Amino acid sequence: MIAIDFTHDPQRESWIDSANEAGTDFPIQNLPFTVFHTGDGDPRIGVGIGDQVLDLRYCAAQGLLDAALVEPAQRQVLNGLMSLEPARRVQLRQAISQWLHVDTSTSQAVLQEGLYPQDAVEFCLPCQIHDYTDFYASIFHATNVGSMFRPNNPLLPNYKHIPIGYHGRASSVVISGTDVVRPVGQKAPAEEGQDPTRSPAALLDYELEVGFYVAQGNPLGSTIPLELAEQHLFGMCLVNDWSARDLQKWEYQPLGPFLAKSFATTVSPWVVTMEALAPFRVPEYQRPDGDPQPLDYLSSPENSASGGVDIQLQVSLLSKQMREKSLPPQSLSQTRFTNMYWTIAQILTHHASNGCNLQPGDLMASGTVSGPERNERGSMLELTWNGDAANPTPGTDRTPLQLPTGEERKFLGDGDELILHGFCENEQYRRIGFGECRGTVQPAR
Amino acid sequence: MIAIDFTHDPQRESWIDSANEAGTDFPIQNLPFTVFHTGDGDPRIGVGIGDQVLDLRYCAAQGLLDAALVEPAQRQVLNGLMSLEPARRVQLRQAISQWLHVDTSTSQAVLQEGLYPQDAVEFCLPCQIHDYTDFYASIFHATNVGSMFRPNNPLLPNYKHIPIGYHGRASSVVISGTDVVRPVGQKAPAEEGQDPTRSPAALLDYELEVGFYVAQGNPLGSTIPLELAEQHLFGMCLVNDWSARDLQKWEYQPLGPFLAKSFATTVSPWVVTMEALAPFRVPEYQRPDGDPQPLDYLSSPENSASGGVDIQLQVSLLSKQMREKSLPPQSLSQTRFTNMYWTIAQILTHHASNGCNLQPGDLMASGTVSGPERNERGSMLELTWNGDAANPTPGTDRTPLQLPTGEERKFLGDGDELILHGFCENEQYRRIGFGECRGTVQPAR
């Protein structure tokens, strides 16, 4: 696990005033990475600080970085930094923290030249994502979804033994702010024996997820022991795994979700490093009595003690009508990443446990983060219980969502914007945030 | 569909004698692309001709190519050539065919400098595969597998309406000749309520598949009408989709195959272009009376008339003992790609039908190619009917495979080498081949 050092000191302040304001996602204790351009389409790596982004390519050109860091810091993607030794990443974080500290010995005038207001830049995908894998690691989500479709058998026998996952589509991972076109696809026949139909997805949904990027990878045929898994984690982000439930229902047997997912997956622009998250590591999810212990390759004292990450998550919706009336987004749910049945280290170790080679920049997503309460459900499917008032299940609340405009939602409408937030907060350390992950639904073409 | 032109003339001969020999996979009518190096790890694009490979980077440096082709021809991967306009690809093929023709006006002495014996070079992955998708397009395979695990319901209701597919793992796609390490993984508990176990896969299998590479892609949110699908196909190859059946059985519900597949997928080094395959296009699979017609977006007169590709396929096995006794590989099965329920154009169009963006170099594989007869089954699972003599199904032959050494196989043993072959042959045109797709199973680590 990464050591707590001076960069985490909650008293530490920056000479950039906005980084010291209460409630900022990006105090000097955070320093998330991103990739951005300033309107010219020339992407470079940046670091978030207050309401600014510091151009790391510029800093490298100014001679501020160690020789070994210059080349990876000047790329258009984070993959080079991701593939560094963990100690090098700590070194880079400490250097940046020193530049931005109130008592910096580095010229503020020089650094000032490399700062851009965040609201004046365009964000890009932070890295080349070679492979994207989506998991299913919230037992509350898996139980909710299973209850709708297999009421007598909500959780399959493998769930408590395997971090269930599937390969996702890497090409359609897009950066926050990218519009999402409602997909068209096949839907199950209305009655058995009839032909399926094809039309725009009616049951379009979001999934509130947390993603992590792989740092150093492993060669094909080798594995990553759980004890070493944390060294292979670079940082975390927010993920919206847009899902077309009607397409999924018809296509997904026997080989899993495909076109119901591959039309878009949105990631947040900021990658919050594992170094920044060190003060927010918590014990793994406490499995209820009677649940099986994971097999040996998924068990370690360190994972039990600090494999969790205490991220608080929020999702909200802004409809077209709400936007036109200048209403604020409506909160749909709030949950915590501590609700996950599997830790990110277990997920990574399992992924490589068959000899599968991981590569720097691979993206793994948690699956929908849902908690035990109704207001902790991370998808519309769960919030409106499949929007299916005709098929009630005892104890579930199937009222459609009411928006302040009088609109109702069982699933997403055209023009709806979904906004994910995440942050870490505890009594001892400075609050850090993940920024936003946004996307607006456009009508089917 | 691509026009037949002078490059397909069966009388056409090359000044490279080996290209004119009966039975060669690589006559002047073929000209498949590959990527190779000569022991120095410096990959370049090549073209197969007889028992030689022509270095296209060298040809470009000699000024033999049009200006627009020089840069893509000099890359270390085929992605640049893949993204060319279809007319440019035809132009390139015609130029290469002219260089190698007996009556070439290009200096043979110059070209000779760019030739390497195929058995003296190392082959590399032919392109950067951004995303890999595996389908399930043989109804015979789907019915066989379904019969074993769902005897009363072998074919799910969606099968005849959707080209079923799933996202595969791109990072573990390897070039022919790469050893395959037997994966270790979780297996279902012996009895309900017990814990699963973890050990090397016992039911390791191959799957005989055909792959195709995407040429030009499509932007996210757009689709590719079936009428235009052929323009987005670059060429075809052989694929061995190694599968760990015991891992798959335990992990695959509800989200599909994952670690049972992601330990290795082998592709052949040669990419046989759609131009070379033009003389072997045949009508799509003749669906039995009573089967539903595909929905409109998967129907076109051209697809019906010539959407099929008549590739003959063979798979053989060479065990360690057989190799030590210098015995030849034993044939396991022979089948034809005309057995596929869905055409490659339908597969591509379906993949993009939700707005998913395809990219040059994306690999799509057919799924196991099995035909109606026992000796046309494309996997060990089907040949030995799950190796499961304790659970007989009427009418199935569950005798283990007998090897000439007296060894028996229900699934693959350590040291077993699998060899796939493919070729196209008809009465009117010159036979062309796909070369080999090989891989040897190494013991679990």
Smallest Cα distance from A157 to chain B, Å? 9
Q: What letter does residue B181 receive in the DSSP assignment? A: E
CB pair distance less than 8 Å for A167 and B167: yes
Chain B positions in Cβ-Cβ contact with residue A184 (cut-off 8 Å): 223, 353-355
Tokens 């008809």 sit at which residue? B426
Query: pLDDT value at position B390?
Result: 54
Cβ atoms of A419 and A413 closer than 8 Å: no
pLDDT in tens, A163-173: 999 999 999 99
Give the Cα separation of B168 and B129 in Å (integer). Answer: 11
Q: What is the chain B residue with the closest CA to A218?
A: B171
Tell me the residues of chain B between 175 and 214 that have a Cβ less than 8 Å away from chain A: 179, 181, 183-186, 188-189, 192, 195-196, 198
Query: pLDDT value at position A228?
Result: 98
- Tokens for A150, please give them: 């297999």
Give the residue numbers of B annotated as catalytic, written as ranges.
141
CB pair distance less than 8 Å for B184 and A353: yes
Say whether pLDDT at B40 is over 70: yes
Instruction: Name the residue facing B167 among A168, A250, A254 (closest C-beta).
Output: A168
DSSP string, A103-154: T-SS-HHHHHTTEEEGGGSEE--SS--S-EEEE--BHHHHHHHHHHH-TT--
Q: What letter does residue B21 receive in the DSSP assignment? A: S
Query: pLDDT value at position A424?
Result: 98
B255 reaches A (C-beta below 8 A): yes
Say whether pLDDT at B270 is over 90: yes
Torsion B164-B169-B172-B173 (CA) sign? positive
Residues 6+ apart with CB under 8 A from B136: A255, B142, B163, B164, B165, B367, B368
**For the residues B317-321, what does the mean pLDDT come to?**
98
pLDDT in tens, B144-198: 999 887 788 889 999 999 999 999 999 999 999 999 999 999 999 998 889 999 9
**Within chain A, which residue ranges are assigned CATH 3.90.850.10?**
132-442
CA B54: distance to chain centroid?
A: 22
pLDDT in tens, A15-37: 999 999 999 999 999 999 999 99
Say whether pLDDT at B394 is over 90: no
Backbone phi, psi, residue A19, to 5°: -75, -15
- Tokens for B312, please give them: 């003959």
Chain B positions in Cβ-Cβ contact with residue A183 (cut-off 8 Å): 354-355
Residues 6+ apart with CB under 8 A from A144: A154, A370, A377, A381, A382
3-state secondary structure of A49: strand
Res. A389 pLDDT band, cuts 50 70 90: low
**For the residues A125-129, what does the mean pLDDT come to?**
98
Instruction: Name the residue facing B258 among A165, A223, A253 (closest C-beta).
Output: A165
Say whether pLDDT at A13 is over 80: yes
Say whether pLDDT at B395 is over 60: no
Query: pLDDT value at position B385?
Result: 87
- Tokens for A205, please give them: 């949904």
pLDDT in tens, B191-207: 888 999 999 999 999 99
B172 reaches A (C-beta below 8 A): yes
Percentage of residues of chain B with pLDDT beyond 70: 98
Say whether pLDDT at A394 is over 90: no
User: Chain-wide mean pLDDT for chain B?
Assistant: 95
Best to test chain A binding among B138, B216, B258 (most A CBs inside 10 Å): B258
CB pair distance less than 8 Å for A355 and B184: yes
pLDDT in tens, B212-243: 999 999 999 999 999 999 999 999 999 999 99
What number of H helices and E strands is found in chain A? 13, 26
Chain B positions in Cβ-Cβ contact with residue A168 (cut-off 8 Å): 167
User: B1-5, B24-28, B78-82, B405-409: lowest mean pLDDT where?
Assistant: B1-5
Query: pLDDT value at position B387?
Result: 74
Say whether pLDDT at A217 is over 60: yes
Residues 6+ apart with CB under 8 A from A56: A33, A44, A45, A46, A47, A73, A74
Tell me the residues of chain B between 311 and 350 that have a Cβ less than 8 Å away from chain A: 350
CA B367: distance to chain centroid?
A: 9
Chain A positions in Cβ-Cβ contact with residue B183 (cut-off 8 Å): 354-355
C-alpha distance from residue A13 to each of A102, A166, A261 (Å): 6, 42, 42
One-letter amino acid at A183 equals P
**Within chain B, which residue ranges are assigned CATH 2.30.30.230?**
6-123
Tell me the residues of chain B between 269 and 308 that have a Cβ less than 8 Å away from chain A: 292, 295-297
Question: Which one, of A180, A204, A146, lies nearest residue A370 by Cα?
Answer: A146
Query: pLDDT value at position A212?
Result: 98
Query: pLDDT value at position A393?
Result: 59
Chain B positions in Cβ-Cβ contact with residue A196 (cut-off 8 Å): 158, 161-162, 295
- Tokens for A147, please give them: 């209850």
- Helix, strand, coil shares of chain A, percent, nearest 5, are 25, 25, 50
Query: pLDDT value at position A355?
Result: 98
Cβ atoms of A220 and A208 closer than 8 Å: no
Query: pLDDT value at position A441?
Result: 98
Query: pLDDT value at position B393?
Result: 59
**For the residues A263-284, what does the mean pLDDT come to?**
98
Instruction: Name the residue facing A356 among B222, B262, B350 (closest C-beta).
Output: B262
pLDDT in tens, A359-387: 999 999 999 999 999 999 999 999 988 87
Q: What is the CATH number of domain A6-123?
A: 2.30.30.230
pLDDT in tens, B205-215: 999 999 999 99
Query: pLDDT value at position B392?
Result: 56
Tell me the residues of chain A between 89 and 148 that have a Cβ less than 8 Å away from chain B: 130-131, 136, 146
* Domain A132-442 in CATH 3.90.850.10: yes
Which stretches within B279-399 are classed as H helix? Answer: 301-306, 320-324, 344-352, 380-383
CB pair distance less than 8 Å for A295 and B198: yes
CB pair distance less than 8 Å for A171 and B358: yes
Chain A positions in Cβ-Cβ contact with residue B193 (cut-off 8 Å): none
CB pair distance less than 8 Å for B156 and A259: no
User: Chain-wide mean pLDDT for chain A?
Assistant: 95
Smallest Cα distance from A14 to chain B, Å? 41
B249 reaches A (C-beta below 8 A): no
Residues 6+ apart with CB under 8 A from A407: A319, A321, A413
Query: pLDDT value at position A149?
Result: 76
A155 reaches B (C-beta below 8 A): no
